[in-house]
């Protein structure tokens, strides 16, 4: 019996609106790490903690490709996909737990 994996591409935001795009195989764990400041780098520097968007993938290569695609987008295009899923930019983390 094969285990099915899930991979996630996500966007988190700071209170000032800075966006960070990431990839993980455990969305809840990764968002907790961001919220607790355990991940060094951009997201910690800019206090990106609010999950505003995510997508689920069955295959790791598809998720990595999508992460790269989103990172190449301009701010306006990123905001558009967030607003389509989450028009009020609520913290989606609370829906996961």
Taking a C-beta distance cutoff of 8 angstroms, is the pair 40, 93 a contact? no
Q: Report how far residue 48's alpha carbon sits from residue 25's, in angstroms, rounded to the nearest whole number.
A: 19
Place of tokens 């285990």: 3
For the stretch 44-90, pLDDT in tens is: 999 999 999 999 999 999 999 999 999 999 999 999 999 999 999 99
Q: How many domains does the chain have?
A: 1
pTM of the model: 0.94
CA distance 90 to 79: 13
For residue 10 the two structure tokens come to 């996500």
Q: Which position has the token pair 């999950």?
A: 51
**Domain harbouring 71, CATH code:** 3.40.1440.10
Task: Give residue 69's domain range.
Answer: 7-96
Residue 1, domain member (yes or no): no
- Whether 36 maps to a domain, the answer reads yes
- How far is residue 89's CA from residue 81's CA, in Å, rounded to a whole number? 11
- The answer to whether residue 2 sits within a structural domain is no
Residue 8 CA to residue 15 CA, distance in Å, equals 22
């Amino acid at each position: 019996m094969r285990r099915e994996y899930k991979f996630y591409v996500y966007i988190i935001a700071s209170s000032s609106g800075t966006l960070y795009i990431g990839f993980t195989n455990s969305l809840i764990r990764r968002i907790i790490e961001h919220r607790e400041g355990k991940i060094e780098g951009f997201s910690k520097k800019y206090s990106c903690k609010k999950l505003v968007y995510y997508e689920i993938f069955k295959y790791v290569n598809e998720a990595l490709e999508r992460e790269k695609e989103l990172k190449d987008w301009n701010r306006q295009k990123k905001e558009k996909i967030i607003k389509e899923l989450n028009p009020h930019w609520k913290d989606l983390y609370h829906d996961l737990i």
